[in-house]
Amino acid sequence: MINQIKKDSGFTLVELVIVIVILGLISTYAIPRAIDMVDSARMSSTRDEMMKIKIAIIGDASSVSGGVATYRGYMGDVGSIPGTIQDLITKPAGVSAWDRTANNGLGAGWNGPYTEAEEYEDAWGNAYVLNPDSTIVSWGSNGADDSGSGDDIVLNY
């Protein structure tokens, strides 16, 4: 028994270095992919919210009952483009209240809210911009107007 070989348990330094190198290689590939997935999810979420805002502004043409549009949106009710997102949530000054008897019984005036308050900002925390040229704009991740050459998202309505 004196000559028994003692077995050590554990990893050698070479084995540990190999594992660290492998983990480093995996992370250099995985981290950029994860960041891209997050950016893609933010863009998708922003586009979805912008579509909700668009429908709040122009209405939903597929929402019809008896040949009459049932969800006409801000433009269909008020007859003009909202100045800001806030106009879709609270009645702006100078806009008449909803009158069911107006417009040959179809109604006219502010009949909101047309959208929810959480749709003020895109996924990066920037406020949406409503332009008079009938576009909704998100400045994207950099929060700046890139004039169409950067990460801006523009939706026409």
In a domain, 8, yes or no: no
Give 84's contacts (C-beta < 8 A, 6+ positions apart).
130
In a domain, 73, yes or no: yes
In a domain, 7, yes or no: no
Q: What is the helix (H) or strand (E) element at residue 153, kind and residue range?
A: strand 153-156
Query: In total, how many domains does the chain have?
Result: 1
pTM above 0.85, yes or no: no
In a domain, 61, yes or no: yes
| CA-wise closest residue to 55 among 40, 76, 34, 41 | 76
In a domain, 25, yes or no: yes
DSSP 99-142: BTTTTTTT-BSB----S-GGGGB-TTSPBPEEETTTEEEE-TTT
Question: Which residues constitute the domain of residue 82?
Answer: 13-156
In a domain, 55, yes or no: yes
In a domain, 4, yes or no: no
Rounded Cα distance, 63 and 107, in Å: 16
pLDDT in tens, the chain (157 residues): 556 666 667 888 999 999 999 999 999 988 888 888 988 899 999 999 999 999 999 988 887 777 777 788 898 888 888 988 889 998 988 888 888 777 777 778 888 898 887 778 899 999 898 988 889 999 888 878 876 667 888 899 8
In a domain, 59, yes or no: yes
Rounded Cα distance, 145 and 97, in Å: 35
**For residue 66, what are its two tokens?**
């008896």
